[in-house]
Structure 1
């Protein structure tokens, strides 16, 4: 199942992507017999109520005839937001691909290196990356992101994926000059409306093994990053378990899992994003995320 957030009448609404059509989530749930309680106003509301049984819902949605439900519009024509438009937490893992650690000249980490963004940092597909007036050193980082499905506190690594709703695509856009002004990364990582995410939250039953996914980042059609999630140092389960031991995770929380080598800052000469650049991050089986720098 692919969950999206789309705009209609100046409101964000939850939807289900089937083929190229976006269907209203509540219409889909009604069609499969899920009619208990009030309608859901957001994807996070669905995760709060049913994050532990998304696999079952996904199987029932897969058997649905989408022609029986009025489409909200085609995916390419709707204004999309981040799949979870109102997460309580946006967390990120730095230095989680061996080749990226190598290009930075740092030592291999013994534990996941965690930093934070804010919900105000997130934007959806096709929305403008609003950073060019903030920094002259704007960089790209294509990443797979986890979305939490159930309240998660001190879980074991072996059980951690049972708390994950699914994954999505994220571009950890970074203002490098702001990042390295001090010892803390926050100023360079959490600029308002700087972090594209989407287009869909893809449930794990549809993704399959999240550690075998090809990832590619392109700038103006030219490939700048290419890797596979099997090259992560810390697995998704390790990341979720590790964070859950010091911070309770909530349905809808987003965790970016790190970027591979090829970032603009480590190229010779450095390759900084410019106003008008088209940045694309594509992860096989998850989706294509496209944004233009404003």
Structure 2
């Protein structure tokens, strides 16, 4: 199942279930009207309160009438408890950066104020001269875990989505740490929806592609992750309580501008398009102010 948060033409925000082909949606109001299931008003309650099973039980009654191109897609989760991001978690990306990958997650936190819609503009301060793109698979946690084993860690996953970890490299290099250069408002486009875990047979076998103005820059697979998702969750839970709604972004593969022999950083009016197998496509225009 694909669950999206949207804004209707009348500016009302709501959420719903997206059709299998990703072209239409049925809103929570329509689900309730057609099935009698009393859908909760907020998406977080729907995702993590057991309502999915309820809706699945009446799924045959659902019809998708509203085209997605007639609504605005929003960031699927407006207020996650935590956004945890991994650095250098792909062999090819670490190699290009001249680093030896760590056997434990190297993390930083990104504030929820950085969240952006899947088609929203990324607005960078004009003084940033080395703006970079990073396509990532994000894990949406569905239940609280602490010190969970690798064998059981994927049971905590609700679903997956695309995460664009936009990075101001000049700030990052100057600070010698990640947080400030990655935390600017709009620097975390994500979506286009949350794809539930059951739709992704193996999260370690997903094709990841990034295009800048139509040119392929990143073309890799989640099979190149240094630390697989099950170990990421287990390792993090040794120290951090992982909660429903947490977003864990699992790192980016090779092909970022920073690692090019002649870096080609993002410019004003560039378009970045990220496609991840099974998760959809997000597209963001770059603006400097």
Q: Same fold (TM over 0.5)?
A: yes
Residue 235 of structure 2 aligns to a residue whose secondary structure is helix
Give the Å deviation of 1:209: 1.2
Within 5 Å, give how 1:195-214 maps onto structure 2: 195-214=188-207
Q: Which runs of 5+ in 2 are unaligned?
A: none
CA deviation map 1:182-241 (0-9, x unaligned) = 232111111111111010100011122111111100000000001111111111111111
CA deviation map 1:231-285 (0-9, x unaligned) = 1111111111111121112211111101000110111211110111110110111
Residue among 133, 138, 142 paired with 2:135: 142
- Could you tell me how far apart the structure 1 residues matched to 2:149 and 2:47 are? 21
Counterpart position of 1:6: 6
Give the Å deviation of 1:33: 5.6
Counterpart position of 1:99: 92
RMSD: 1.9
Counterpart position of 1:25: 28
Counterpart position of 1:167: 160
Matched, 1:153 2:146: yes
CA deviation map 1:45-79 (0-9, x unaligned) = 223312xx85x457546534415xxx4x3222311
Within 5 Å, give how 1:45-124 maps onto structure 2: 45-50=45-50, 54=52, 56=53, 59-60=56-57, 63-67=60-64, 71=65, 73-124=66-117
Matched, 1:15 2:16: yes
Residue 271 of structure 1 aligns to a residue whose secondary structure is coil
Counterpart position of 2:40: 40
Greater CA drift, 6-15 or 178-187: 6-15
Matched, 1:290 2:287: no
Residue 180 of structure 1 aligns to a residue whose secondary structure is helix
| TM-score for the superposition, normalised by structure 1 | 0.90
Paired residues in the alignment total: 284
Pair 156,255 (structure 1): closer, same or farther in 2 beyond 3 Å:
same
Pair 134,201 (structure 1): closer, same or farther in 2 beyond 3 Å:
farther
Residue 170 of structure 1 aligns to a residue whose secondary structure is strand
